[in-house]
Amino acid sequence: MEADLALIGPHGPLTLLEAFEGRRQLITYYFMWHPGHPAAEQCEDCTWCATQVAELPYTHSRDITYAVFCQGPCDENSRYRDFMGWDMPWYAAEESLDALLVGRPIGPMYLVCYVRDGDRVFETYRTTRRGVEAMDYSYSLMDLTVYGRQEPWQDSPPGWPHSWIGTSERLRINGHPIAQWSRMHAKRSDDLGNHPSVNRRSEPKALRAARRGNRFMEPFSAGVARV
């Protein structure tokens, strides 16, 4: 693989080789992106995956760098990273996706590993869809509890909680990826600079409440932990 494939980081252009930060291996998460769409409409699955990775010293101790390669425009996705408060290495890879994902569709989420030998870079592993659950700890912990994930596909006895009525919304609350709500409650700006100002009167009541600094609405039954 070409080591000089172009990326864009917070300090400007860099290469794939430079994204290793001098370490031997690199794990990358390819973040899906919907150009021109507001934060609420960005991928809930990728937001869920990216939120799981908070501490990197353990991977660094094994000579491994972790980074997110976003598949959208730099200006938009860097604002999203700031809104979410993530501090992991984050690069816009839009310019080089054809070469980075050669033979694979551009757009879906991917988890890809690389190793370098001097100035040469090799791809060693890739997965997508359910394979990216390797990044998650939330579901792994839920699976240890008596009620599990509380999703409709579970063969649970009558009367057991099923908080999520449809799998398409399992990672959203009131139209937003779940992890966004704590950021909005903290009054962080979710403006990605890519769409006209919205009519606040047309916003969901829960979102207007969050913008006013009130406790956001949550469709959980009693006894279920809040976000």
Domain boundaries, the chain: 6-135, 138-211
Of the given ranges (7-21, 43-57, 104-118, 199-213), which has the lowest mean pLDDT? Answer: 199-213
211, exposed or middle or buried, with CB in 10 Å at 0-12, 13-18, 19+?
Answer: middle
Residues 123-146: pLDDT tens digits? 999 999 888 888 888 888 888 988
The 3-state DSSP class for residue 69 equals strand
pLDDT value for 218: 32
Query: Would you say the pTM of this structure is higher than 0.75?
Result: yes
User: Token digits for 87?
Assistant: 């501090």
pLDDT of 225 above 80: no
Distances (CA, A) of 221 to 41, 51, 108, 157, 179: 25, 24, 33, 18, 19
Residues 29-59: pLDDT tens digits? 999 998 888 888 888 888 888 888 888 999 9
Residues 64-90: pLDDT tens digits? 999 999 998 888 888 888 888 888 999
Q: Which residue has the tokens 């916003």?
A: 203
What CATH number is given for 6-135 in this structure?
Answer: 3.40.30.10
CA pair distance 181, 188, nearest whole angstrom? 10
The 3-state DSSP class for residue 29 equals strand
